Amino acid sequence: MSKPDRAMATFGMGCFYCPEAIFKKVNGVISVIPGYSGGHIKAPSYMMVKRGIRGHAEVVQISYEPKIVRFEQLLEIFWYFHDPSTLNRQGGDDGPQYRSVIFYHSEKQKKMALSEKIGKQKTIKRTVLTEIDKFSDFYPAENKHIDYYNNNFNQPYCQLVIQPKLENLKHEFSSLFNR
């Protein structure tokens, strides 16, 4: 549970490796844990989720300090770093486990997410397919998936996909970037 000076956000925006690396670089973020949410079995494994038949999405669960970074700012980053208009797909990742989803932790988060979704749809002039669902369960990913970018920095995926996004974060969200 959240402490009074902490809050939680849970986002699915494709594979969890990119959002984990991105949100870890945001001032006010305490922790980012990749995992699974939104499915209909308890304690799924990566292989179960990868098959896309259990209903879970790959997500990141973010613990943050609202006095330093607001939920609205986390939402801005969420919208910026993935395509919310593609159904069950982000880049080369395909399937419902890679869907765009916000699991809200409070009615306030729900209202903000819905408002942002409407605004985003007007801005990009395409249907925003991001799901906005009440948070229920979260299951952390297996250890080999945690801190993937830092543990696999030299892998081509990290260099070609994640590193450019971190550079964009530094430039587009410089006031939030944690050096």
Name 118's Cβ contacts closer than 8 Å, sequence gap at least 6. Answer: none
Catalytic residue among 8, 9, 15, 62: 15
Angstrom distances, CA of residue 88 to CA of 40, 59, 131, 175:
17, 13, 10, 31
A 10 A CB-CB count for 3 gives: 9
Q: What DSSP state is assigned to residue 13?
A: E
Handedness of CA 50, 146, 6, 44 (dihedral sign): positive
Q: Is 158 a catalytic residue?
A: no
- The catalytic residue positions are 15
